[in-house]
Structure 1
Amino acid sequence: MAQRVALHTRLKPGKEAEYERVHAVIPPELDTALREAGVHSWRIWRDGRDLFHVVEVEDYGAMRNALRDHAANIPWQARMAELLEVEDDYSGNDSGISLVWELP
């Protein structure tokens, strides 16, 4: 059974349009790496500088650990560090945003 994990990140001021341009098409090797790491889908919404992600993945911690040192992910994370306020260590120790309520 796949996990659904919500995440929140924040853009550096003035990076909104650049972030959207960069995400218009992700590198094919990153797409492959994400899928091989068990990601079924990854959606991102933006409200101003705030980004909200919903990731459907087999095992979130395992995915993060698998991608941490992956050759396709390293340059992508370096690029994201230019756009996001907080750098991500890709430790896999986080569990995302806590779910408060869901319509059954």
Structure 2
Amino acid sequence: MRYCLALDLKDDPARIAEYEEYHKRIRPEIEASIRESGITEMEIYRIGNRLFMIMETDDMFSFDAKAAADAANPKVQEWEDLMWTYQQSLPMAKPGEKWVLMKNIFTM
């Protein structure tokens, strides 16, 4: 299954550059938690301060299970707290929501 999500970064070029640097050398335990959840591929794209994530998942993937595993993993929580210093919610996000699932409106 493919999922596409969006999120904004704080509009500060220096902070955006730092955020990109973190993603050039993602921590091994973070990558492991992503893969263990059933995410087989992940890409993040940026334009301005808007991020767009594409996730390919296997049949076992569940957003709820991923959230529960992340909440129980101190290393993931540390990473998420750090990343949140760079990120900001989209205007249409629900309270506490970071990445917002996008609706597919066209497939060819």
Task: Please indicate the TM-score interval, normalised by the length of the shorter structure.
Answer: 0.7 to 0.9
In the TM superposition, what is the alpha-carbon distance from 1:89 to its structure 2 partner?
A: 4.7
Q: What is the aligned partner in structure 1 of residue 105 from structure 2? A: 100
Q: Which moved more, 1:21-30 or 1:57-66?
A: 57-66
Any stretches of 5+ residues in structure 1 without a counterpart? none
Cα offset, 1:9, TM superposition: 0.5
Say yes or no: does 1:56 pair with 2:61. Answer: no
1:76 corresponds to which residue? Answer: 79
Distance of 2:76 and 2:96 partners within structure 1: 12
Question: Amino acid of the residue matched to residue 97 of structure 1?
Answer: M
Are residue 32 (structure 1) and residue 35 (structure 2) matched? no
Q: What residue is the counterpart of 2:92 in the other structure?
A: none
Distance apart, 1:65 and its partner CA: 2.9
What's the TM-score once normalised by structure 2's chain length?
0.79
TM-score by length of 1: 0.82
| Ranges in structure 2 where 5+ consecutive residues have no aligned partner | 90-94
After TM superposition, the structure 1 = structure 2 runs for residues 9-48 of structure 1, keeping only pairs within 5 Å, are 9-14=7-12, 15-48=15-48
Question: What is the distance in 2 between the residues matched to 1:51 and 1:7?
Answer: 8
Q: Which runs of 4+ in 1 moved over 6 A?
A: none
Alignment length, in residue pairs?
99
Cα-Cα RMSD: 2.4
Distance of 1:95 and 1:10 partners within structure 2: 10
Letter in 2 for 1:13: D
1:95 CA drift (Å): 7.2
The residue that corresponds to 1:65 in the other structure is 68
